Amino acid sequence: MTERSPTPPVPADGQAVAHRFIDIDGMQIFYREAGPRDAPVLLLPHGYPCSSFQYRRLMPALADKWRLLAPDYPGFGLSDTPPVGNFAFDFDAYAAFLQAFCNKLGLDRYGLYLHDYGSQIGLRLAIRRPERVAALIIQNGDIYEDTLGPKYKAIQEFWRDPSPKNRAVLEEAVSEEGFRAEFVGEVPEAQAAQIPPDLWKLHWPLMNTPQRREVSRKLMEGLKQNLEWFPRYQSYLREHQPPALIVWGPNDGYMPEESARAYLRDIPKAELVLTDGGHWLLETHLEQVVPVIRRFLSSAHSH
């Protein structure tokens, strides 16, 4: 019987995502991290109704060349939900949180992935610290009032008339069925089948507390004040002209194709890539989107 030479141990996956907790202003914050510590940083603020989980597939696909960081906001995902008196739970408070997260991790330059609510929060961070922004990837995040899609109707009704009846519509949206509709409500059946039910089935139990439901509803109500920020987001883009990639799924009742094209008014040199997907492109079109993102980030960081 021949003796086998000992098998060398298999090294750990260099592109694996690490799952960590960090203390930010007394809150236990969960975040995902991948890639070399000394690589260019891509910051991934999440949207609604989600958490850093939405980036779980993108992160390993870029981790060979970039350092990726995706925190769960306070009141979302696996992060703490502090008492209302300790945290404001509005877009400004979340931008301040993102800034504190960057400071804590010593991030002084980063690309920003702008998606859904993360686009509002990320752009507020960019306005606070424009010198830190290396590039923007804009994916289904709206900042142009004249291109808002038909799905805004219920929220706009509430803004016009904040009656109990109109508030009830928003409260119903903050439910497991409401979350499911956000993920699969608008894409063709074949694409909907690619979106894992884990996105709402696992996230809803985390969000189903009285305070977290209230936080979610208040953020929807707060979109009205956010509209007043739209011109500020636009002037930031006009003034600073950050390198930008606009990659979009037009099957989106909140943010149709016009919402993507509107960005070209302020950043005409941005690259625009339209797919046949919807709001959750990283679930349905990851393989098409990753090469585009890699090429863009490589070129943005070489300048």
The pTM assigned to this predicted structure is 0.94
Determine if residue 52 is left, alpha or beta; phi over 0 gives left, psi from -120 to 50 gives alpha, anything else beta: alpha
Phi, psi for 250 (deg, rounded to 5): -70, -15
Whose CA is closest to 247, among 54, 123, 114? 114
18, containing H or E segment: strand 18-24
The answer to whether 149 touches 256, Cβ cutoff 8 Å, is yes
**H or E element that contains 138:** strand 133-138
Cα diameter, the chain: 84
> What is the DSSP secondary structure assignment for residue 85, as one 8-state letter?
G
* Residue ranges of domains in the chain, CATH in brackets: 18-151+229-302 (3.40.50.1820)
Residue 96 CA, distance from chain mean position: 16
> Rounded to the nearest 5 degrees, what angle is found at the Cα of 213, between the Cα atoms of 212 and 215?
60
Contact 254, 280 (CB under 8 A): no
What pLDDT tens digit does each residue of the chain (303 aa) get? 656 666 777 666 778 899 999 999 999 999 999 999 999 999 999 999 999 999 999 999 999 999 999 999 999 999 999 998 999 999 999 999 999 999 999 999 999 999 999 999 999 999 999 999 999 999 999 999 999 999 888 888 888 888 888 888 888 889 999 999 999 988 899 999 999 999 999 999 999 999 999 999 989 888 888 889 999 999 999 999 999 999 999 999 999 999 999 999 999 999 999 999 999 999 999 999 999 999 999 998 776
Strand order in the sheet with 110-114: 18-24, 27-34, 67-71, 41-43, 110-114, 133-138, 244-248, 271-274
